[in-house]
Structure 1
């Protein structure tokens, strides 16, 4: 059966809902951030359930309150934060695979644990492709985020539907750990031993200053770091300012920075951080290379 292009209508949403994939590669030299999913572990899991490529575009939902209506049959998968999921007003117990019929409505309600939900669809969402990626980013894509009455296309294919005798269950416990595994950054050597020890043993709290650009931690760390020239930075780079602030860069962060780079988060640590809410605790754990 041939596929035709259908439409998903977003009839309500909280702030911060966007289309994301694995991001834009090789454009850092032009000052363009990578963007892409903050929690790539969850986004790749939903694509695996749907037999999609890893980089198929998904919805990243950062606040409760999404409502989406589908114009044609398809299959969707939901992972990331543990949240209440309703299909046509009825709660879905295991949303890892959900058959969708024309005019079906999905709603994402209260977040129970975690901070971001990922909604994947068979063949991926077909938002506008810009510089090799569908990821929303201000000044590159037409929209930075969805608002009420948003629309996005997908491939209609009724043959993807069928009786689901069993389906995988998403385990939310992996992002409840406090440890963020890190590699030592290029400027780690500039710290004295006391500061190094403190950074690897202390607990830190996520501040409210947290978004796709990055996360700032509440506690400060006194240091005697020198002024440094601007250097390349990446999602997951941990910077320590001369005033003692710790900043962990996110997917939409700038591609260069002048603050010392003390750590680089592992891919898994980036996904764990993406699921942390303000006030939650994290600790840095050095990876042995």
Structure 2
């Protein structure tokens, strides 16, 4: 019998996610995928899956999952209480759930999204090359609800189960994310980017997988009118007429008609995805040269670290 995951309780919002379906923006299909990809990748590595395997993305926890067969699982992302078959368990490490056992994931202490990976991956049908739920277009499996049953086993096993050498850093209480000038920053007064970075913005309750809606100092336009609809990158900071910015996340539309004042650095987008309503978020302006320099310095540090390991290479799960 095929191993399955039975959803007893999905929490406020839960979906199946992998790393998304790139390459279809010209058809109006967002990339979608995990809102916090590094957390999903880590969860998959911890249970020996390929990083591309599908897992479960929980929003504000509150989930209960029953496993019909014994399974290795890992819980990553927003830290929260975890219980496996009635016993307290940890996050960011592989854990065993016996046949018929229930994995319970509580409400995160900080952050918004938690990921559950299962050895062999969640084996729902692929659509356009991905198993991800897209909340904007409706492509992929529907959001999970009590009574949903998910098959396990998608041929995604990559390695033996090994823990990462170091746990991921804790989520900051007040994240600061880097932002590069956007393609339409000339639609704003010269001080707009300075104003964006001068004070914190509050994440509002209207935020979702499409974008994080922010409340704070309005960004003043230098031009009236609206743009023709144009392509929107992941991390675009789009500004509607009211002046309150929106940071586009995983399910953002491929095009939009409001000007983009800046674009959040890709490496910092998981911090935005983990910001919950009421959290404060700050921006730090970087120019392209300094951003490229920082990326180069991080790559150089990784290469030096690899050279210091026995055998001259970094060993990862």
Q: Same fold (TM over 0.5)?
A: yes
1:184-199 mapped onto 2 (5 Å cutoff): 184-199=181-196
Q: CA deviation at 1:167?
A: 6.8
Q: CA deviation at 1:95?
A: 5.0
Give the TM-score of the pair, scaled to structure 1: 0.89
Partner SS, residue 209 of structure 1? coil
Counterpart for residue 140 of structure 1: 139
Counterpart for residue 224 of structure 1: 222
Change in Cα spacing, 1:172 to 1:89, as seen in structure 2 (3 Å) is farther
Counterpart for residue 261 of structure 1: 260
Change in Cα spacing, 1:179 to 1:223, as seen in structure 2 (3 Å) is same
Give the TM-score of the pair, scaled to structure 2: 0.82
* Number of equivalences: 282
Q: Do 2:122 and 2:154's aligned partners in 1 also have CA atoms closer than 8 Å?
A: no
The root-mean-square deviation of aligned C-alpha atoms, in Å, is 2.4
1:96-245 mapped onto 2 (5 Å cutoff): 96-137=93-134, 139-143=138-142, 145-155=143-153, 170-219=167-216, 220-226=218-224, 227-245=226-244
Counterpart for residue 20 of structure 1: 17
Change in Cα spacing, 1:167 to 1:104, as seen in structure 2 (3 Å) is farther
Counterpart for residue 37 of structure 2: 40
Tell me the alpha carbon deviations over residues 257-278 of structure 1, each in whole angstroms, 9 at most, x when there is no partner: 0111111122222100111111
Q: Do 2:17 and 2:57's aligned partners in 1 also have CA atoms closer than 8 Å?
A: yes
Q: Do 1:82 and 1:172's aligned partners in 2 also have CA atoms closer than 8 Å?
A: no
Q: CA deviation at 1:141?
A: 2.5
* Structure ranking higher in strand proportion: 1
Change in Cα spacing, 1:183 to 1:156, as seen in structure 2 (3 Å) is closer
Q: CA deviation at 1:283?
A: 1.2
Counterpart for residue 251 of structure 1: 250
Change in Cα spacing, 1:122 to 1:81, as seen in structure 2 (3 Å) is same
Counterpart for residue 5 of structure 1: 2
Q: Do 2:202 and 2:280's aligned partners in 1 also have CA atoms closer than 8 Å?
A: yes
Q: Do 1:38 and 1:274's aligned partners in 2 also have CA atoms closer than 8 Å?
A: yes
Counterpart for residue 74 of structure 1: 71
Q: CA deviation at 1:154?
A: 0.9
Change in Cα spacing, 1:185 to 1:163, as seen in structure 2 (3 Å) is closer
Partner SS, residue 210 of structure 1? coil
Partner SS, residue 273 of structure 1? helix
1:30 and 2:27 are equivalent in the alignment: yes
Q: CA deviation at 1:55?
A: 1.2
- Structure 2: where are the runs of 5+ without partners? 293-317
Q: Aligned partners of 1:274, 1:222: CA distance in 2, in Å? A: 26
